Amino acid sequence: MTKFPRRTALALLSGGALSACVPSPVVVTRAAGDPFEGGIGGTGIVGVLNDFGSLKINGLRVELTSATRYVGAFGPVASGAVAPGMSLTVLADRSRDRLVARAVRIDHPVIGPVTRTARGPIRVNGVPVRAEPGAIGTLTPGTRVAVSGIWTPRGIAASRIDPAGDLADGVAGVVERGGATGLTVGGTPVRLPGIAPASGTFLAVRGTFDGTAIQADQTRPGRFGAATSPLRLLSVEGYLEPVAQAPAFRIAGLGHSFARDLRLAPLAADRAIFFGPYTGTFAASSAYVLPESFAARRSLLRDGLPDQAISTR
């Protein structure tokens, strides 16, 4: 894969260069243009759904079959529940020169009441949420919503906001020690019925938000759950947040660590898609910087990834 300096890649991703740098839909093969650089094995994809025509997510085209399973955080859902702007976790396999989805999970980072103080940001379950440009739906104080989007170091960048309906209050993010209950998920204090998972891991929680904390009724650990075959490759859309351990960053809300030898500081302020092998840590080998607008990303990624990647090595 051709490696470009960060400044060059950013220039090619802006303005009139967009049409020139967007190729035909990405087909994941061992040939040039493969964002996974020819790796094989089960593939985990975490990102926001841009469009249909199969699933168009993270600049990839993931095919659906009659065997594809659709699930929410705690059970099956209809295939029609999936919509553009939603946060998805996809487990896929290669079939010849295609990615084929085994399972598609809808991930809502937060579900709950929308609140706002006179001087503060809009919050859901106490988590700051901002609707990015081009987001679908609105954040209206006093309503209950199911938020789709990705975590940032300061909260959630929402790409879609839907009425929560009969969905229980919830949060899905990284576990940390602290807060009013001694444990937080994505910054929301949580009261768990059992033993708390380790800090830095991913946990989805459903229950009741009392204005201060969520009393959990259901929990699901792990971003990818019990995958039926080992994950070898990851594609993750996200923002970096600083941590004490090398390489000094992790992807906000992911619950998996990077390999320690990566150079990530040039991407510290950017939304990006990261690609690379997974061997217990995420050895991301390349990244693609994205615009801060859902509408702009849909246009940019509709037909595939830009030709230029930023090396993290």
Delimit the domains of the chain by residue range.
6-106+224-311, 110-221
pLDDT of 100 over the 80 cut: yes
Question: What is the Cα–Cα distance from 157 to 153, expressed in whole angstroms?
Answer: 10
**195-204, 218-227, 249-258: range with lowest mean pLDDT:** 218-227
Question: What is the Cα–Cα distance from 259 to 256, expressed in whole angstroms?
Answer: 10
Helix (H) or strand (E) holding 294: helix 294-301
Contact 130, 167 (CB under 8 A): no
**Residues with Cβ < 8 Å from 16, sequence gap 6 or more?**
none
**Residue that is written with structure tokens 């246009």 in the block:** 299
**65-69, 110-114, 166-170, 308-312: range with lowest mean pLDDT:** 308-312
Helix (H) or strand (E) holding 89: strand 87-95
Radius of gyration of the chain (CA): 19
**CA neighbours within 13 Å on the CB side: how many for 240?**
24
Question: What is the Cα–Cα distance from 143 to 164, expressed in whole angstroms?
Answer: 9
Q: Average pLDDT for residues 68-84, to the nearest whole number?
A: 93
Phi, psi of 150 (to 5 degrees): -130, 155
